A and B are shown apart, each in its own frame.
Chain A
């Protein structure tokens, strides 16, 4: 198992387990796997960032990663 920190923004925050951003996940987990495990619909996530850098859904997560999932924000 590895430990990561997950930040879910705006409407995605309801998918955070017990509201706890510190998660333990299996090794070899990708961002896409993580989204599936948490039941986050794929079309709600438009921007993924890991340790402050934009990544794709196939990004393999590592110990200590800071993961952010961001929905489409378009208001003015």
Chain B
């Protein structure tokens, strides 16, 4: 009983500055939610950080990659003394350091069309922070089968895009075209990615995730929010 009271007091203190933007009931709903983040690079690292702080209760963190020096320009979880460390392990450590109430399942593995369904089927929302267009299409197939919404972010240079895809939506086919779903190279292979664009796009993804979990606000369903930072263009394109 005493422990329960203490926990309640800690809960109230931790999320005091979320109120009254997020109600107490909504905060508890976030705490009971499970979100899977696929890809823990420039987008996924920022998404981990923000979903842990806002109070999503269970996070599954998936990436087979390890940090290298070229990640330091933008990936918020990377640091010089973590070069060579699996991103999923570093992400778990960070989430736990920020919010030890979050239940974290870290998986050092790459998912593909054969393993994606099993990897995501227990999630309430999947955060697509991948860097491969082909795998994004495979994720859409798996999420459709599992009946789970995807919040997708993608970046190139100082341009970011975010959309939310519900099961059965056309999703990536409207953005990348259906015919070229395989072997389509994104332009980020030429432009690279800049830190502030990665984190801005990650923040927009987290906003979408919270709205989906709370069934609140305007969701970017069948819309692609494009942010282009050289010219300050922010446009939600109607994809239907």
Contacts and interface: CB of A to CB of B under 8 A. Distances in A.
Given A74-B136, A75-B188, 15 more contacts: A7-B233, A10-B228, A47-B174, A49-B238, A53-B238, A54-B174, A68-B226, A72-B176, A72-B185, A73-B187, A75-B155, A75-B186, A76-B42, A76-B43, A76-B131
Contacts of B240: 54
Contacts of A49: 235, 237-238
B140 interface: no
B236 A52 contact: yes
19 contacts: A7-B231, A9-B226, A10-B156, A10-B228, A11-B156, A46-B177, A47-B174, A49-B235, A52-B237, A54-B237, A68-B235, A71-B156, A72-B133, A74-B130, A74-B133, A74-B186, A75-B131, A76-B42, A76-B129
Contacts, number: 95
Contacts of A7: 228, 231, 233
B64 to A, nearest CB: 13
Given A11-B190, A11-B191, A47-B224, A74 B237 contact: no
B202 to A, nearest CB: 10
A75 B235 contact: no
Q: Is the interface of B mostly helix, strand, loop or mixed?
A: mixed
B153 interface: yes
A74 B155 CA distance: 6
Contacts of A43: 180
B41 interface: yes
Interface in A11-62: 11, 43, 46-47, 49, 52-54
A73 B161 contact: yes
A11 B153 contact: no
A11 B190 CA distance: 8
A10 B136 contact: no
- The interface residues of chain A, by DSSP majority, are classed as mixed
A74 B238 contact: no
A46 B178 CA distance: 10
A52 B56 CA distance: 33
Interface string B120-135: 0000000001111100
B184 interface: yes
Interface string B176-212: 1100100011111011010000000000000000000
A73 B228 contact: no
Given A10-B159, A46-B177, A72 B237 contact: no
Contacts of B156: 10-11, 71, 73-75
A41 B126 CA distance: 34
A76 B154 contact: yes
A52 B238 CA distance: 6
